Each structure stands twice: as C-alpha cells, then as structure tokens.
Chains A and B, each alone.
Chain A
C-alpha cells in the first residue's frame, strides 16, 4: 500500500520527520518498506514568467528569453522551443537544477549567448498530459497560464510545490489480517494510535437533487451467500472532466492513473476507505436492471481492460448482469461497456460486499488480480460499504460533477451490530508478562478506534481480525511497544538431551568427516530420468510424484540417495576437481497407498572418485566406521546382479542377517551416463538398520599377561577361493587363535596358472599361561589339515 503523506494529513497530523514516522509506524505494526518523495529527483526548478523574447542573431531557431524567476533581476535563457510568448508562465530550471531523468542543468553559452538554465516540458518534470486538467503541449515548454491554480503559484515558487508533486509516498507492507490498512483511513487510525494524536474523521455529507432511484433502477441479488450486501446510488447529468489537481495527485501518489472525475472518484474512495467501488454508465445497463448472480455456462464478457479476448465465464463465478447479459465480474473488473465515457450522462455507483474466497478464485481463474479483487479477497465490511458509497456521493457534490438522485438501493441490508469484546485486562498482562494498568490498556484501545462501553469494548467495523483475548493483547502490546515488555526466561522442567538415535547420527557424521568425506546437501526431488541414467531397476523407481512441480527436473521424490550423489560427483568432475570424497545423510521417499503418507528413510550415502580410490577404499571406510560404531561383525558378500553397480565389484553388507547396505563401483555405463570419465565408488547404508547393529557400551578387556606366538602361512589355492572362505576355515579350526591377518596375495611365475597364493599371519595366545611352541604348531597343523580338505596346500 502506497500512502500519500498529504492524504494522511487530511485525517491525522503526522508532520514529524519522515524517518521518525516510518520507524514508529513499523514498530507499531504497520511495516514501512520504503519511502520517497514523489518529486525526486527534481530540484531547483521554479515558476517563471517570460518578460521578453528575442531571436538569436546567429540562429533561426533559437530564442533569447528574459525571465522573471522571482529574484532581484531577470535571468536570460536561450531556448529552441517555439511555443513561448511574452507573459508565458513556465517551469524554469535554474543553474544547478535536476530534471526527472536525473540530468543536471547548468548555465552555459548557446552560439555565444549566455544561457542561465532552461525551460522544460511536462515530461522533463516526470509528468504526463493526464496530470493536467487542461491541454498541454507534448513537444514544447509546459505553459501554465491556463492552470486553475495559477493564483496559488506566484513567480519563483518551487515547481514541485506549485504542481503539488512535493508529496512523500510511504510504502507499507500490510499483513493479511489487516485489510483495513489497505486504506488511507485505516493507516490514519494506526498513525493516530502510534503518535497518540486525534483522528479527524467525519461522516460524509452531500446534497441530493430529488427523484427516486427505485424508479430508475432495479437491483436483484440472486446469490446472497456470495453477495451479502449490494448498494447502488445514481448520479444524473454528470459532467465528465479531469479531476482537480489535489485528487489527481493523491491518486498518482498511490500508483493509480487519473482518468476522469467519475472514475477517479471510485478509485479515490477505494484507496481512502479501502472499499472498492464500481461505476456503470446507465445507457449500457439494459432494462435498467442489475442482477447479482452466478454466470451461466457459455457466457462471456469482454473486460474493461484492454485485453483483446473476451473472458469465458463459468457457473462458479459471481457476476453483475443487466437485463440481458453480464456487465461485470463481481469484485474483479467491469465489462468494456460498463465504464464511464466522455459522453456518459447517468452513472450508477456500486458498493457491495462479495465473498472473499469466491472473488479470489474468480480473479485467479480469469487472470485479473486487481486492486479491487485483492481487497475483496480479504473480506470487507458491510458498514464500510455504506460509508464508502456516501463518500463517493460527497465527492460528486464537492466537485460539482452531477446531480445525485434521492435514495440508495440497499439489498441485503442488515443491522450490522458492532462486535463487542470483554477484555480481561489481567489476562492480557498474564499473556504478555507485563504490568500495564487497565487505564493504560483502555487508553491504547481508544487510540486504535475502539469504544469503551463499561466492561466491554466495541470493535471498529473494519477490524475483522478482533475476536479473542490474545487479539486484544496484541493490540495493547504493539502500541505499548513490544520492546517495552520485560524479557524473562521460562523455567523449563525439561532436559535438552540427545536421543540414542541422535547420538548415533552425530557419531556417524563425525566418523565420516574423519574419514575424509565432505558433507553435501542435495535436493530431495529429482528428475525421473536420473533413475534411467543410473540404470536402477524399475521396481526401485516407484516414486512419490509432485502434482505441480517446478519442472521435470524436480518432479519426483527420490527413492535412492545415489542419483543426487552422482549429480554432485558429475559437477565436481566437470569442474576439474581431480578427486573427492562426499557423504550425505539423505532422505528417500517410498510411496504407499494413495492417501497414505510415504515411508521416509534416512540413508548414509558415500561417493568417491579419483586417484587412489578403489573398491577397497570404499569398503575400508565402511569397515572403519562400522568398527568404531561397534557394529564389527558385518559381512560383505559379492553381488553381481545389481544393475547400478559393477557386476564384479559390488558387495552387500549384512549383519546378523540384516541388510545394512550396498557398496561398490558404480557401473561404468551409469558413470558414463552421468558424464563421469573415471571410476566412481559409492556406498549406501540404511541408518535404521545401522542403529540396530550398533554395539553395546564397551567393557574393558584386561591387557594380555602372557606372550603370543605367531606363525606365517603361505597357501596356494584355486583363484576362485575367496579370502572370506579361507579365514572362516582358519578361525574355525585354530585353537588359541587371537588374530588372523592377510599380508600378501601373489599370482605369477612361482604359482601354477589358475592358482593364487595367499599369505597369512596367525597369532596365538593363551589367557592364563604362556603358549608353547608345540601348542601353536598343533593348532597350525589342524588348520592345514582342514585347508587340505578343500585342496589348499602350503606353498
């Protein structure tokens, strides 16, 4: 809402410095976004009068002009303008002045003749022809001799003051609950409360010219649910003309283009009272009948807006119709013939209350969110409708632009008893934690326009947001000053502990960081094409689909954290980062029934690429992490049929039969699809399962008292035999075994083809005595015997 300070001052005295005004209004609850003077950047331009005109002797086009600018002596200006005459009243840009486009005017010489500034056009003042109530030259100097306010602009007057463009415009951010503040009166009431200065408001008054509106016009409201009140008044013998300057300027300050006195009055009242109005030309209201009804299927309406295509109306839309056809969309916009023309003679003013939600939907559907509709959609008050209509008639009277027919048609008129509340002043203090006396609270409410009536207060009709004690508390608090309420600290009986889940999550994060992984955060919606790129199984692609996504790229909720990881690796690889390790605690979403919420699961996802990374570095990272979480007997088994992974470099991680996750090299086809030219290694761990696998609290094991003995075994076996199988046999058969560790793998000349050699160190120890060589040897012998059974021999 753009507020003209001049307009505001019609109703409340607010002449403090503008910064102070803005700051205090903001802290009172009406947030000021910005403010600026309408005249900016104009400066040092005054009203002047041409005393003499003389041709420049070296030019056929230039004139040497002597001007009275209200100073001791006239000044000389050379001009190329051809519309000047002696006695012309003109805007004069003095030496060191600034015009609307920011150009600075200084004195100089034109063809050798001194020129001390320039005279300017309306455009150079940032104005348009519509800002004047009389014809002004488009190309030439602005001539003010015909100005009706000429007597108010003596020679030497600042042009901004003379033309009333010296107004400050304050832009407010108005919250949804305060549609009343989308009006000059609403903001005046706020200013009155904030600055504790009285409001100067009176009921509108006007003279009528006889007749009876009921004989001229019939109004029917068919849908009283969507139109709770419809008021109409009539003005005959209207004289269409430009509005007076004060009105035009106030409209301009509010961002509304002045058109003519009748249209301007409707806009002026909307801005002043916050209640939109409409004016119909009676000639185009067929049968002199207005019906408020739902549109019929197939009806169309060409709007007042310059849109070429007529709007298709639909039955849920509320419209205003005459005896034959729609003439306006209720609360949104009028039809093309409903407006006021230069030859209009009889006008019907409408002030009504339409249902907010309906107006909002209709405005959205026809793509016309107007000043009017945005006010209606917040819900408007029927009492204010009447005030607004009467104010419009008062302005008609004041401007002398027509004869007001007696009577007002009022369909749906009710009693409209004001809302009454019973404030509990102690409760207000209890909620705020303040100690504001009843008197002070009442004084604040009065300043806001509430009436005190015994124990009750009467809510101003435009305040649709006042119902509860907490609403009263907010009124009191904001005017008393939020920052004047003492700050306290609640005594909480709760403890801020971490849950077990959170402790494990924090630990997982710390481990991942210490293993060199950078944490990433990615979007949880993806493109369905990403599944394709990664080659995921069809059954793993069943996603929660966003009905109204921003685009295909972000249209489904991911079912795996891998697509996002690959996207991040792609970006880093393309940016020529040679190596990187990433991890993310990423959520994935799995659809259930149509009206059921999906399952949401958190995964720990790792991704890495670059020199030195291979299957065993990703596996090592996972092993290290599991070990430090106490989940140390995880098993890794080869998986060759997961389409996302390299068939020979992929493992499933399980623990106690539970599937903890997958890891391995991403299938080279998938990496290529993501434009990544190097091997990528990833792991995905299910955090829910991981939590179940985390070990118990550590119990210290006493340090060994007796020495250990170790034996190295170099074994030859078929290439197909895995380390896992061998260590399992060793563990099963070796008595007193403390540890078994692989230290070498060899394939080559010394080993027959199709075979490989694996070397292990076995460490033996007894808890209660020194292990003898014989005992160690016996244990090794047993192991060798077992290994021999599956064809393994010592090398």
Chain B
C-alpha cells in the first residue's frame, strides 16, 4: 500500500507538471483527489490494515494528498497567469496609431497677447474697461488736446460718419469717458479696436487693436510711468529685457516718451528684426497733459497721472514671427491652428 501511495504521488506529480490547461488540471484533481479519486479509494481501503500500519499509511496518505493539493493549486495559479499573459499579448496595440479626441479650438493670437496684458495689469491693480468704437470727436480729439486743424483729424487719416462722429482712432476716448465718470484714483487699461484710414498691406490695416492705460492719482510721477512700464515689459518678455525712454510728442501728454525695447533677438547689436537699430519701438506714453485733466474736471494741481498706448498687432507679430499683418484678419484655419 505504501508503494501504491508512492506510485500515485509520482504519477500525479508528473501529470500535474505536464498539464497544459486549466481543464486538464481540473480533471487531474478529480482523478486523484475527487470523491471517487484514486487517493480517496486508498484511504477508504485502509480499514483492512493492521493497527500498526494504519497510522503510518494514514500519515503518508495525508502527506501525498497535501503535496498534490499544493501542486495542483500552484499549477492552477501558473496556468491562470500564463493565460492572462497570453490574452494581454493578444490585445497589444500599436501605440503610434493616432489618439482619439474631440479637437479643441484655439484663441486668436491677438487675444492670446491681450489676455496676457490684461493679466499683467490686473495683477498691478488695473481694471479693464471698454467703450464705444463709433465715437464723438470730442472724446477722440477735442478733449485730448487735438484741436480742429490737427493733421490727425484729417479725412485722409480718419473715418468719419458725420462731422462730429467718427470711428475712434485710439482707445484714449475710453480714458476720457472714465475720467468724466469717476473721480480719481483711476487705474485702467482700455483695450479695443481702433480705425485709421490706411490701405491694407503687410504692415498696415485700417482696423487694428490698442491697449491703452491710464493712472490718475495724487503725486503720480514720470518715474512711476517708467517703473510701471518696466514691470510690464519684464512680465511680457522676461526679466532680462531692457527698455529705453525716448522723448517724443503727443498732444495729450507732457512730458511724452516713446518706449523702445532692446531687441530681444540681437540684444542691441542690431539685426534685421530691429532694422539694425538694436531697439524696437514698442509704445507711446507720457504724463497726462494738465489741459486734458482740466477738460475732464480733474484739478491738475491736486492730481497727476500717466497714460500709455500699446499696439497689440505689433507685439503679436514680433512674438510669433508673423511677417504679414493680413494673416491676422484672414482667419485661415491653417494659420489659427498654429497657436495655443
């Protein structure tokens, strides 16, 4: 009987190790360990053994059962793992095939730039204000010290609706409306579209966008203007950027300054981008002319302020290397989809 048990163990172990699938393994379990299995049959026939033999054979039989049990269980785990591996291998995908998505749209490059400007100035405490594009001459010219007879008012430069209504040539009109509507302190930017009678070409458009800024408070200085615009330029172009303030003339500011950016491509050495000058004209600015304050009912003895105006097209074109302004208004999806 002992020999019989050893035979069963050997035979069963061989069969288990040779077994290749779960079904077969189940059959083996039934064959050896099932109710009618070989090992069970031996255990049942143990009644005919002597009292001395019985515990020894009993022990052996249990050990064989345990061994087979474990072997079958181990094998079962192995077979399951192998089956899963095979299944996963069969499910392999070509990861270089295109992903499935619902494509997103993208913001127009001019608005990408404007969003950035808004964020910078809001961070400094400015409010963004809007105003009409079809405007009265008094807000665009008269109250901004640009009297009758000033060349900027010429029909050849400005679109008129009537003698006193026009398409605004600058968003400074919004500043006037703001000063008339609110008492200082004022800190605003007024982005928007403006109109000038220029024929369309690579560098001109009769419609373009400005973002003007205005700060009015007690003791606002030219130094404040400089500091503010320096921060603005650093936020937009990085900490290393350099500005220079160059005297200029605008009817609505005094002193007036044009602000040049050191060319970010050649760092001032001169290159095609900056036309060899090392500097790129970026914006116009100045201290608000006292007459403009008076026009808006603000006492220039008590308050002072600064204003600046930035062209969005210029910034966007420089940033994205856009060499033709028309692209911005043609809205070709092959152009628009390049921005993010």
Contacts and interface: CB of A to CB of B under 8 A. Distances in A.
Interface of A: 26-29, 31, 175-178, 356-357, 360, 430-434, 468-471, 473-474, 477-478, 482-483, 485-490, 492-499, 502, 509, 512-525, 544-550, 554, 557, 568, 571-572, 575, 577, 580-583, 587, 589, 594-595, 597-598, 600
A482 B149 contact: no
Given A431-B222, A470-B255, A495-B125, A522 B331 contact: yes
A670 to B, nearest CB: 19
A589 B289 CA distance: 32
Contacts of A493: 125, 185, 217
B329 A521 contact: yes
B65 interface: no
Nearest to A175: B249
For the complex of A and B, list the 7 residue pairs with the smallest distance between their C-beta atoms, beginning with the closest: A433-B223, A433-B221, A496-B122, A29-B247, A474-B255, A175-B249, A482-B245
Interface stretch (B17-25, B33-41, B79-87, B127-135): B127-135
Contacts of B219: 430
B165 A546 contact: no
B124 interface: yes
B274 to A, nearest CB: 14
A431 B249 contact: no
B272 interface: no
A488 B221 contact: yes
Interface residues of B, number: 79
Contacts of B167: 546, 557
Interface in B242-285: 244-249, 251, 254-257
Nearest to A600: B132
A546 B160 contact: yes
Given A487-B223, A496-B124, 16 more contacts: A27-B244, A357-B149, A432-B223, A434-B221, A474-B254, A482-B222, A487-B230, A489-B227, A490-B227, A492-B187, A499-B128, A513-B105, A575-B334, A580-B333, A582-B333, A597-B134
Contact of A470 (B134, B135, B289): B289
Contacts of B105: 512-519, 581, 583
B231 A522 contact: no
Nearest to A174: B249
B161 interface: yes
Interface in B323-340: 328-334, 336-337
Contacts of B185: 492-494
Contacts of B223: 432-434, 485-488
Contact of B122 (A498, A545, A568, A595): A498
B133 A516 contact: no
A474 B247 contact: yes
A548 B246 contact: no
B175 to A, nearest CB: 15
A495 B124 CA distance: 8
B255 A178 contact: no
Contacts of A546: 159-161, 167
A200 to B, nearest CB: 25
Contacts of B121: 496
A600 to B, nearest CB: 5
A524 B207 contact: yes
A519 B333 CA distance: 10
Contact of B125 (A494, A517, A521): A494
Contact of A547 (B151, B161, B222, B330): B161
6 contacts: A433-B221, A470-B254, A488-B227, A492-B126, A518-B106, A597-B135
Contacts of A498: 122, 128
B331 A31 contact: no
Contacts of B319: none
Contacts of A492: 124-126, 185, 187, 215, 217
A572 B206 CA distance: 22
Given A432-B222, A597-B132, A548 B249 contact: no
B48 interface: no
Interface string B97-108: 000001111111
B197 to A, nearest CB: 6
Contacts of B206: 523, 525, 550, 554
